[in-house]
Structure 1
Amino acid sequence: MQLPTPEFTFHHGGVSVPNLDEAIRWYAEVLGFELERRFHINAANADVAMVKRGALRFEIFAVHGALPLPDDRRYPPSDIKTHGNKHVAFRVNDLEEFLRAVQSRGADIAFVVREKFGKGCFLRDCAGNLIEFVEENN
């Protein structure tokens, strides 16, 4: 007999970066996240920060000796050609307003899509990690 799936909710997304202080600053200045806490994970030799914006959380890892993000993982159409986790996506009410705001903060806009089913964009954080923002058509 198969058991019912227990309830669960989203807790956080995570990214690896080369410089934790730079990433904390980027997520604050570009996307409005604030530092919730910092800690170290001995088993991974990682300095970690949890940043928060409302109910949204992002975990940022700076792992000593980590390899840099490969170039093909920095552009959405090439990134999806490699198996594995791709990105986290957030909903925005107005993509054009969002784009103007993040551009004014120096965001690196990697890709913009405007289709009948909806609009979206991908930003690269300070380490090149892709983050998607979506405006849905109802």
Structure 2
Amino acid sequence: MKPFTQNHPFFKSVAASAILSSSLLVLFQATQSAKARTFENSASPPHSTISQHAEAAAKNGLDSLQIFNVAISVSDIDASVKWYEDNLGFQLQNRRRVSTGIEIALIENNGFFIDLIHIAGSENLEGSPKEPPDHLKVQGLRNLVFWVDDLKSADAQLKSKGVELIWESRYIPEVGTSVTNFRDNNGNLIAIWERN
């Protein structure tokens, strides 16, 4: 059996994963600082948020599992940061280029973080994006999901920004609420549900 070389696909895959994990760990500290600034800038953080953090701190291993962020590989990091800022109100928290040529922009809105990641030569292997529900025929993570209190207001805001809606406040009787779907500047599907 031949030993793995640096050009072997397995080696490249493992190396890329390790580099990305290291990059995310570097950004973790910046994210924690951003979260701390959010608490400092608010007059009184919600009691439930404080309780959740206290409970999570007391748990070990997977009992303390919480969502940290979502990472999206993008073709143009400047255009992607601008799209999420202009259309969904995200704010850039941190941006870094790592020695491997990977560039990461950490954006945040209401305590939710997204890593927009760019590496030269990336490509979209999905082909032509399918409209819901046919988008589910490609396995894997399929869309980014948000809640809002007033979906029709959110729809109007998105349309005023030029965002083309796929489903506009479409009522889904099985779940008893409505959803709007649209795509970001890279074709990634985003769903906004109305909280009820």
> TM-score normalised to the size of structure 1?
0.85
- What residue number does 1:7 align with? 64
Q: Distance in 1 between matches of 2:140 and 2:130?
A: 14
> Unmatched 5+ residue regions in structure 2?
1-59
- What residue number does 1:120 align with? 179
Q: Superposition RMSD on alpha carbons, in Å?
A: 2.0
Aligned residues: 134
Compare the two structures and name the one with the higher helix fraction.
2
1:97 aligns with 2:97: no
Cα drift, residue 41 of structure 1: 4.0
1:83 aligns with 2:139: yes
- What residue number does 1:50 align with? 106
Within a 5 Å distance, the mapping from 1:22-61 to structure 2 comes to 22-43=79-100, 45-61=101-117
Cα deviations by residue, 1:30-74 (Å, 9 ceiling, x for unpaired): 00111001112445x421100011201111112210113634435
Q: Distance in 2 between matches of 1:69 and 1:130?
A: 15
Higher relative contact order (CA 8 A, sep 6+): 1
Question: 3-state DSSP class of the match of 2:140?
Answer: coil
> TM-score normalised to the size of structure 2?
0.62
- Overall identity of the aligned pairs, in %: 23
Cα drift, residue 4 of structure 1: 8.0
> Unmatched 5+ residue regions in structure 1?
none
Q: Contact conserved, 1:24 with 1:35, CA < 8 A, in 2?
A: yes
Task: Report the AA paired with residue 72 of structure 2.
Answer: V
1:62 aligns with 2:121: no
Question: 3-state DSSP class of the match of 1:76?
Answer: coil
Q: Distance in 1 between matches of 2:130 and 2:162?
A: 17
Change (3 A) 1:53 1:63: same
Cα drift, residue 12 of structure 1: 1.1
